Amino acid sequence: MKDTLDFYNNIYEKLFKKNYTKSTNRAKPALRKFQEYIDNNNIKINKMIDIGCAWGYTLEYWKNKGVKSTGVDVSKKMVEKNKNRGFSCYFASATDLSIFKDKKFDLYMATDVYEHLREKDLLDAIKEAKRITKKYLLIRPHNRLDKRGKINIKKALHLTVWSRSRWQNFFEENGLEIINIGENEKTTYKNVFLMSINKNKI
């Protein structure tokens, strides 16, 4: 397990001070599809964690549904903002979630997060995701290059740019089972992966 907090904080703290992503709730497509799934299958979510919670839109969504919501972000600014709004929020990286016990959450969410991780950090991130989750993982990585925000790095903000099929292979190779909930209609964000842990590959 690897703590990459300093590396990612050095990038995103400066961006969030410039209101990075404040104007959009990028989790909407993933949440819409997952909500349809849990409604149709009478699934109960009691505790969830949002990795890269940013402005807290997803935390607010689940809180309004009576779900105990926890946020994690690499930006101290975002963590403090969410705490001030009454959310449980922690300053941590996706690669090291050792502050949380095993199988603590029913749902692990990370939307528009994994493409911001370096390829060499992805294995640690997915291992931690599986460790703290007992039911579902809802991950949506972007699969296009983002040329904005060249701060302290010599490349774009999306540090891992993979096709949908490559993301799917990565998740399946690491013991996750894809649950088919369909693509997102009329959107360029088509990488919504709802997954459960494949017990045959543990």
Per-residue pLDDT reduced to its tens digit, 65-121: 999 999 999 999 999 999 999 999 999 999 999 999 999 999 999 998 999 999 999
What pLDDT is stored for residue 147 in this prediction? Answer: 53
Report the chain's terminal Cα–Cα distance, integer Å.
Answer: 17
For residue 1, the tally of other CB atoms under 10 A from its CB is 12
Tell me which residue has tokens 């969504």.
Answer: 61
The dihedral over CA atoms of 143, 149, 153, 154, expressed in degrees to the nearest 10, equals 80
* Right CATH for 5-18+27-201 from 3.30.530.20, 3.30.1360.170, 3.40.50.150, 3.40.50.920: 3.40.50.150
DSSP of 154-166:
SS-S-S----HHH
**65-87 burial, b for 16+ CB within 10 Å, e for fewer?**
eebebbbbbbbebbbebbeeeeb
The rounded distance, in Å, linking the Cα atoms of 104 and 187 is 32
Q: At what angle do helices 76-84 and 5-16 cross, to 10 degrees?
A: 70
Q: What b/e sequence results for 144-163 when a residue is b if at least 16 CB atoms lie within 10 Å of its CB, and e otherwise?
A: eeeeebeeeeeeebbbbbbe
CA distances from 119 to 23, 71, 123, 142, 157 (A): 28, 23, 8, 14, 13
Nearest Cα neighbor of 34 from 104, 107, 88, 113 is 107
CA–CA dist 100, 36 (Å, integer): 28
Calculate the CA dihedral of residues 163, 36, 39, 127 and round it to 10 degrees. 20
- Please list, in sequence order, all residues whose beta carbon lies within 8 angstroms of the beta carbon of residue 186, skipping any fewer than 6 positions away: none
Q: What residues have CB less than 8 Å from 40, skipping those under 6 apart?
A: none
Question: Kind and range of the H or E element at 69?
Answer: strand 68-73
What is the residue-level pLDDT of the chain in tens, covering all 202 positions?
667 999 998 888 888 777 767 767 778 878 888 898 899 999 999 999 999 999 999 999 999 999 999 999 999 999 999 999 999 999 999 999 999 999 999 999 999 899 999 999 999 999 999 999 999 999 999 876 665 544 444 456 888 989 889 999 999 999 999 998 765 444 444 678 999 987 666 5
